[in-house]
Every structure is written in C-alpha cells, then in structure tokens.
Amino acid sequence: MAIVLGIETSCDETGVAIVDGERRVLAQSLFSQEDEHKLYGGVVPEIAARAHLLRLDRLIERTMAEAGLDYAGLDAVAVTAGPGLIGGLMVGIVTAKAICLATGLPLVAVNHLEAHALTARLTHGLAFPYTLLLVSGGHCQLQLVEGVGRYTRLGSTIDDAVGEAFDKVAKMLGLGHPGGPLVEAAAQGGDPHRFRLPRPLYAQPHCNFSFSGLKTAVRQVILAADAVDDAFVADLCASFEAAVADCLADRTARALQRQAGTAAARQLVVAGGVAANRHIRARLQELAVAHGAGLVIPPPALCGDNGVMVAWAGIERLALGLTDGLDVAARPRWPLDPEAEPLGGAGVKA
C-alpha cells in the first residue's frame, strides 16, 4: 500500500497532502493566496511564486507531523510539474527534488490536468473509461479518459477558459478576486432572463468552447447601463452564469452523443475549480440524466487546486512504475493529449 506526499504549486494555491493507496487522505494543508492577489484583481505570477517559496517548507513539515510520518514512511514524492505558472512550478519541483535527493525516495512528476482528471477515482473509486469535462481558471476541455496517461481530446476552448471568464466578469463588476465564488454569490436571487447574453458555438457540430465573446457582451451591457446597482449586478451575474451553464451543457452533450453506445458515455466526470459552482453542477446533472449517464463531481474542496489530487495521481502513476529522474523539468504547457491537433486562433489553451 503506497503512501505518497503530494505537492501542488502551479498557480496561487500552495497545497500539500499525504494519501495512501486505499484512498485515504492521511493529512493535508492548503494555503490560499487570495489576500496577496486581491489588490491586483488577479493572480500576479511573481507574487505567487514568492508566496509558495515562503510557505511550502512549513506546510510540508506540518502535514508530515499531522500524518505522524517521517520520510521513511513514504513511498514517493509527487509534484505538479505543469502546466501552470513557471515560477510556482519551479518552487514545487525543486522542493520535491531536494526531498528525493536527500531521502532516496522516487519522484513522480504529475500533470496538473491529469491530477484533476483522476480525482474522481480517489473520491468515488470510478473505473475507466469515462468522459471528462475539465473546467478551471486556465482550462476548459472535454477528454475521453481511458487510463492513466491515456487521453483523447474531444474539445477545448478556442480562446478563454471558463474560470478566466468568471474572473474577468467579477473584475468588470468590481466584485473582487477570485471571481468564480463572488459571481456565484452575487447571482443568488438574480434574474437569469433579464439580459440576453450570447451562447457562443451553441449547437455547433464540434465540442469546442468559446467565452471571449460572452465576456465582451457582458462588458457592453455594463457600459450601456444607466446605473449599476445591486439588482443590476445580481441579474447580470445570474444571466452570465446561465449562459455559461448552457454552453457547457451543450458542448458536453455533443461529446456524449459522439460516444453514444460506449462505456465512456455512461460516466461523466466534471473536475476543476469551476465544478464547485452549484448552478453549473445542477445543469450538468440534468444533462447526465437526459443522456442516461452517471455524473461524478468531486467534493467542492477537491475541485480547486490541492495537494490531495497530486498525491493521488502520484499513487496511480507509481502503481504503473511511472517515476521520473531528478532532471525532470517544469513545463508551463503540458497538454493531456499531445497528439491532438492545435486549435486555431490566438491565446488558445491546449
């Protein structure tokens, strides 16, 4: 039964956890950098890297103590090696390498996206294959998941990620950072039908996403408004949230239809930080029921970035003998399906 230390530093969450092969979380620590970035209305890469550097060693020490383990009680160290902000990735991967060099433990370099993709196997014991909708601040994609390291991209965003769209809408409305939870909170009690916002790529035959035009439409509504009061903000947030949910459901339905009759179409997994949004979860539940698919969404605490998912991905890879040398490099871009054709357009998220 493997016991793995997981380290996550790809963006603005410093996550550390210890997980075992029986899907038990022995200890975990998470430091959110919200206060550090709030003043700037978004994540500042240099500030994020420095915050990881200041806190990571203490979080590891605290997590090890909480689990009642020393390094001799571990079987490996797993660390996010990409994709993400290069400064933060380097803090995590250099720390993991130092531990492995000093202790002789094997190193497992984890793809951040794969960690999200495999979380449902930790929380629900889900078997392969399944269809994955990955929605976060930096990514929005549909993947066929057939096994560890075995992914086929069904669709991706051609411009902005859905989480980024939430953040930008929050910024335009002066709600603050991080945008996703703030827009969701503001939308409570709002009228989702007050503003007619577009559903980009709706009903198209492919499975790709687009959110840039939706952001622009929100901006135009704000500029045309006579007054931006609480009711206006609530209604616009509700209208935006409904538009996003419709887009996600429409594209996901297309992916399930393309795989009709296969085992993957019978299980839909939703992962990433945006999966914590209650309205989106409810909309996707309706979709899954309509298509006769089971819906698996990890608990909200494991939807965002965290060390637990990295430790679990490390366990999955370690079980297959997949370890890495101490010369492994951080990768700011690391697609799950490297064989997929690049999408056209500027600013494409792989």
Tens of pLDDT, residue by residue over 282-292, are: 999 999 999 99
| Structure tokens belonging to residue 150 | 């075995």
Please state which CATH class domain 3-117+304-319 belongs to.
Answer: alpha beta
**Rounded to two decimals, what is the model's pTM?**
0.94
Condensed to tens digits (0 to 9), the pLDDT of residues 16-65 reads: 999 999 999 999 999 998 888 887 888 899 999 999 999 999 999 999 99
DSSP 86: H
Give the pLDDT confidence score for residue 37 in this predicted structure: 85
Q: What is the mean pLDDT of residues 62-75?
A: 98
Judge if 3-117+304-319 and 129-301 fold alike in CATH terms. Answer: yes
Amino acid of residue 172? M
Q: Quick one: pLDDT at residue 341?
A: 82
d(CA 104, CA 106): 6
Q: Where are the domains of the chain?
A: 3-117+304-319, 129-301
CATH number of 129-301: 3.30.420.40
% residues pLDDT > 90 (the chain): 91
Q: What are phi and psi of 238, to 5 degrees?
A: -65, -40
pLDDT tens-place string over residues 110-130: 999 999 999 999 999 999 999
Residue of 185, 191, 179 lying closest to 274 (CA atoms): 179
Residue 335 DSSP class: -
Chain position carrying tokens 């839909």? 268
Residue 349 pLDDT: 45
For 295-331, how does the pLDDT look when each residue is reduced to its tens digit (9 = 90+)? Answer: 999 999 999 999 999 999 999 999 999 999 999 999 9
Cα 46 from Cα 23, distance rounded (Å): 34
